[in-house]
Amino acid sequence: MSNGKRILLIIAGGIAAFKSLDLIRRLRERGFGVTPVLTPAAEQFVTPLSASALAASKVYRDLFDLTDEAEMGHIELSRAADLLVVAPATADLMAKMAHGHASDLASTLLMATDKPVLIAPAMNVRMWEHPATRRNLRLLQEDGILSVGPVEGAMACGEFGFGRMAEVPEIVAAVEAALSAGPLTGRHVLVTSGPTHEPIDPVRYIANRSSGAQGTAIAAALLALGARVSFVTGPASVPPPPGAEVIRVETARQMREAVFAALPADAAVCAAAVADWHVANAAGRKMKKDGSGRAPAFELAENPDILAELSRLETGRPGLVVGFAAETDDVVANATAKRARKGCDWIVANDVSEGSGVMGGTENEVTLITAEGAEAWPRLGKGEVARLLAERIAARIG
């Protein structure tokens, strides 16, 4: 809950601004005080009166409003809040923030503040994917600006893709995570989770039985310690944790792209069960029986090893890279060799031999392999394993 914390909510001009009114309501329900700031473009989408009525607060609109300056200067306004939230954050405002403009009230407040800032980007998919926006986002992340979303979906402009503002409950969860000062506040952790699906043709694929439960629990535990979490997930059977930035992928190759696009990160936890191979001769159309009785021959090609690639990055390597190893025998010896082979810092090894009950179960018995040696943990619930691992990560990078 909020403990009466104050949010300065900057609403920029985009169609998603209509959701910001609901955001004000939900934040107030959770006990936050909300002071809205509207850019001139935002006023084309929502009225200052509705924002003010829902927030039960004065709405700030203009840098040169002398009455406002007499009541509260922009410096003071930018610091009276515990957190600045920009929702929606347009491509234009993100560019201004990245390059230090102070040309209007919103950008001036963002320059003058000494408080954490959370942005919820919203824009057309092409604008989101534009190299300039990617560059600006990277600069903002390097400056410690937190972000939530955008998500994939249909857009008001008729296109489909990434660029839709995160839904209100996700923004509220990100606000709460940003304000829950934990040991990982201000840290960015990348988590991979779930299985991958490797297509055979447009309707068939090769997969594995990973549910994504352990990766999801780890992401939730990291969020609870205040981390910003980029959660790159294959088609898992458990829902992603609220508050994480979720990037959904299907194949190992897509997972690799998503992981590298989410860098820089302070730590990476590769909990995904990535397929080792994809079908090199996957068919573009649904394969049919040809009546000959002959089965098609699949040609397999090796997938990129995301963990090994991350671990060996020369520039931009996360400070801590954690991998997983599912072993059926000689757990410690095999996992220790895997740690060396992949070049990661830690390996969380688990015994998945028949009778261990780990695969598909709710408990896990792991051994943490580090440079110092092997540390056997007792048999614990997967949530508890996640909590302990998150604490160890916090002790290392927090």
Cα–Cα distances (Å) from 131 to 95, 134, 136, 318, 384, in that order, read 12, 5, 8, 22, 41
Q: ∠268-272-277 over CA atoms, to 5°?
A: 120
Output 41 or 326, the one with its CB closest to ligand CTP.
326
Distance between CA atoms of 338 and 270, rounded to whole angstroms?
A: 13
Q: Work out whether 306 is an interface residue with ligand CTP (CB under 6 A).
A: yes
Give the binding range for ligand CTP (CB under 6 A) out of 82-90, 123-131, 228-236, 322-330: 322-330
Output 286 or 341, the one with its CB closest to ligand CTP.
341
Q: CB count, 10 Å around CB of 73?
A: 12
Least spacing, CB of residue 355 vs ligand CTP, in Å: 19
Residues in 258-277 that interact with ligand CTP by CB under 6 A: 270, 272, 274, 276
80 is written with which tokens? 């009276």
Output 290 or 329, the one with its CB closest to ligand CTP.
329
- Per-residue binding letters, 192-231, with ligand CTP (x by CB under 6 A): x---------------------------------------
Q: Work out whether 140 is an interface residue with ligand CTP (CB under 6 A).
A: no
**Bridge partner list, 267:** 189, 320
Distance between CA atoms of 345 and 354, rounded to whole angstroms?
A: 28
Which of the residues 132, 157, 203, 301 is marked catalytic?
A: 157
Distance between CA atoms of 137 and 127, rounded to whole angstroms?
A: 12
Output 162 or 260, the one with its CB closest to ligand CTP.
260
Q: Work out whether 307 is an interface residue with ligand CTP (CB under 6 A).
A: yes
Residue 73 CB contacts under 8 Å (≥ 6 apart), including other chains? none
SS3 36: strand
Q: Work out whether 352 is an interface residue with ligand CTP (CB under 6 A).
A: no
Residue positions counted in the chain: 398
User: Rounded to an integer, what is the distance from CA 75 to the centroid of its chain?
Assistant: 31
Give the binding range for ligand CTP (CB under 6 A) out of 5-13, 176-184, 323-331, 377-385: 323-331
**Bridge partner list, 206:** 198
SS3 310: helix
Active site residue 344: no
Residues in 274-303 that interact with ligand CTP by CB under 6 A: 274, 276, 303
Give me the DSSP letters along 209-263. ---SHHHHHHHHHHHHTT-EEEEEE-S-SSPPPTTSEEEE--SHHHHHHHHHHT-
**Bridge partner list, 229:** 189
Give the binding range for ligand CTP (CB under 6 A) out of 65-73, 98-106, 163-171, 324-332: 324-332
Least spacing, CB of residue 229 vs ligand CTP, in Å: 16
Least spacing, CB of residue 141 vs ligand CTP, in Å: 22
User: Rounded to an integer, what is the distance from CA 35 to the centroid of its chain?
Assistant: 26
Output 222 or 272, the one with its CB closest to ligand CTP.
272
Tell me which DSSP letter residue 166 carries.
P
Output 23 or 270, the one with its CB closest to ligand CTP.
270
- Per-residue binding letters, 11-50, with ligand CTP (x by CB under 6 A): ----------------------------------------
Number of residues that bind ligand CTP (CB under 6 A): 14
Q: Work out whether 173 is an interface residue with ligand CTP (CB under 6 A).
A: no
Contacting ligand CTP (CB under 6 A), which of 246, 325, 366, 390? Answer: 325
Contacting ligand CTP (CB under 6 A), which of 45, 205, 231, 324? Answer: 324
Phi, psi of 383 (to 5 degrees): -65, -40
Output 267 or 274, the one with its CB closest to ligand CTP.
274
Distance between CA atoms of 79 and 42, rounded to whole angstroms?
A: 22
Least spacing, CB of residue 218 vs ligand CTP, in Å: 11
Residue 133 CB contacts under 8 Å (≥ 6 apart), including other chains? 91, 94, 95, 123, 127
Phi, psi of 163 (to 5 degrees): 150, -15
Q: What residues act catalytically?
A: 157
The residue ranges that bind ligand CTP (CB under 6 A) are 192, 252, 270, 272, 274, 276, 303, 305-307, 323-326
